[in-house]
Amino acid sequence: MTNITLTTIKQPEIYLNVPSVVLNDQTIEQRLRKVLQGMARQNLDALVVYADKEHGGNFEYLTGFIPRFEEGLLVLHKSGEAVLVLGNENLKLAQYSRISASEVHAPWFSLPNQPMDTTLSLHQVLKQAGLGGQQRVGIAGWKLFTGSYDNNVSLFDIPTFIFQALQSALTSNCQLLNATGLFISPREGARIINNANEIAHYEYGANLASGAALTALNAIEVGKSEKAIAALLAAEGQANNVVTIAATGDRFENANLYPSDKQIQKGDKFSLTVSYKGGLTSRAAYVVSNADELNPEVKDYVDVVAIPYYRAVVAWLENMRVGVKGHEVYDLIERVLPKAEYHWHLNPGHLVADEEWLCSPIFPASDIPLASGMLLQIDIIPSRKGYAGASIEDTVALADEALREQIKTDYPALWQRISARREYIRDVLHIQLPEDVLPLSNTVGYLRPYLLNKDLALVCRLKPDAA
């Protein structure tokens, strides 16, 4: 068991004004090939990919955009022909699709009371998209329906009016299958493995989120409002992929999810989360300078919550490598931070991409090996009654030697940031990362339990032979 201590250390570096990395044409072609190969494995004649603002990742994976405030469909035929079915205000985006695609107009996808002038029904529009004589058609929404519905291919998570129109467009003997796993199955989904270009693309968001989070943490002071702290999380005009959290004291008062005018008080619990494509950073701790400023009933917070949690995160980081199976990670966290005592209940780690939570290969009895190219978020959420939580959620990539060399060659500035982060984690936090683990967030492994003391953080105690 790793010994953990609270000590004065320097903060991690953050990187400002890092340029975005655009997905290149070769990456888009590779993505399309992976999806078509997945369709062939499932013997699909066509694939219908649903999208809306909250659930647009599979659609965006090939097209490069989401339909924003409307619904949209991508109809992909096994020949590679693609048709976009779009509402009034997204038709103009079809010409910018990253894969070659024609478009048909579906005004039913548009906003309320907008023009819906058409003589066609929705199922006739879907026939225009080439649906009609297929024998097997996959529908990709965004849920896998695992657990009690493991591998269930007959549950669908798209709007009823679209599903019924699909049924009407297709012949009665056509088999409709839930094909979301083709994109996000943690075992073989097209989206779970990233190349060097994709890792560089997503590191932009992980860097942005972690830099903004550390800036916001450093600004926390008694008397400031949640909104004042949250304003520091709004970085470079980028769209968040989760609701931003800057919450002091008790959360969800009056059912509110968003930063408010509530002022920070000494002794408050504080939660902070910001996320962009490619990475989320989250922190939870107390607004105090030391244990003496905590209420008597939680004075032992560091020993009871923060250190056990940090020990689990260190174990996670030091045992994460290519080839480790999902159940091994799950079992490790169960040993180090027993669920019966610390009441975590979600997967202790999951994959990220355009979404904050893509899927997870980490669950009981999972024989899925972690693979080079996976982007993983540290996501262990302890809960001890009466205490604030502890959280240092951040993003890492797994990369074998070949992928590391590709990143180093193609994206030297990114490799410099990764190397500097690894050095900080090794030399300051004394966490021994396997070579496979590439920190994409600046704050990986950095935990401050007392938010008003900006120099104190938890670190691993050096072994005598390493001192």
Residue found by looking up tokens 């250190």 in the block: 307
pLDDT in tens, 324-354: 999 999 999 999 999 999 999 999 999 999 9
* Contact in structure between 272 and 245 (CB atoms under 8 Å): yes
Which of the following CATH numbers is that of domain 43-178: 3.40.50, 2.50.20, 2.20.110, 3.40.350?
3.40.350
The mean of the pLDDT values for the chain is: 95
Q: Which of 440, 431, 403 is nearest to 319 (CA)?
A: 431
Confidence of residue 253 (pLDDT cuts 50, 70, 90): confident
Q: Helix (H, G, I), strand (E, B), or coil: what is residue 6?
A: strand
> Do β-strands 375-377 and 437-439 pair in parallel, antiparallel, or remain unpaired?
unpaired
Handedness of CA 446, 447, 450, 451 (dihedral sign): positive
The average pLDDT across 140-167 equals 82
Quick check: 271 and 213 in contact, CB under 8 A?
A: no
Taking 90 as the threshold, does the pLDDT of residue 179 lie above it?
A: yes
Residue type, 83: V
pLDDT at 146 over 90: no
Give the closest residue to 36 by CA, choosing from 74, 85, 86.
74
Dihedral sign of CA atoms 244, 250, 252, 255 in order: negative
Evaluate whether 204 touches 247 at the Cβ level (below 8 Å): no
- Specify the pLDDT at position 241: 94
Reported CATH class of domain 4-20+191-466: alpha beta
Six-digit token pair at 198?
Answer: 């994709």
Rg (CA), the chain: 24
Sheet architecture: strand order including 46-51? 102-105, 82-86, 72-77, 46-51, 136-140, 175-178
- The arithmetic mean of pLDDT across residues 257-277, rounded, is 96
Listing DSSP states for 242-294 in one string gives S--EEEESSTTGGG--S--SPBP-TT-EEEEEEEETTEEEEEEEES-SSGGGS
Helix (H) or strand (E) holding 138: strand 136-140
> Domain ranges in the chain?
4-20+191-466, 43-178
Instruction: Report how far apart, in Å, the C-alpha atoms of 230 and of each of 39, 225, 379, 426, 440 are.
Output: 43, 9, 21, 31, 22
C-beta atoms surrounding 134 within 10 Å = 19
Angle at 398 between CA 194 and CA 16, to 5 degrees: 80
Sheet-wide strand order for 245-248: 245-248, 269-276, 279-286, 391-393
pLDDT confidence of residue 338 = 96
pLDDT at 462: 72
Where is pLDDT greater, at 369 or 144? Answer: 369
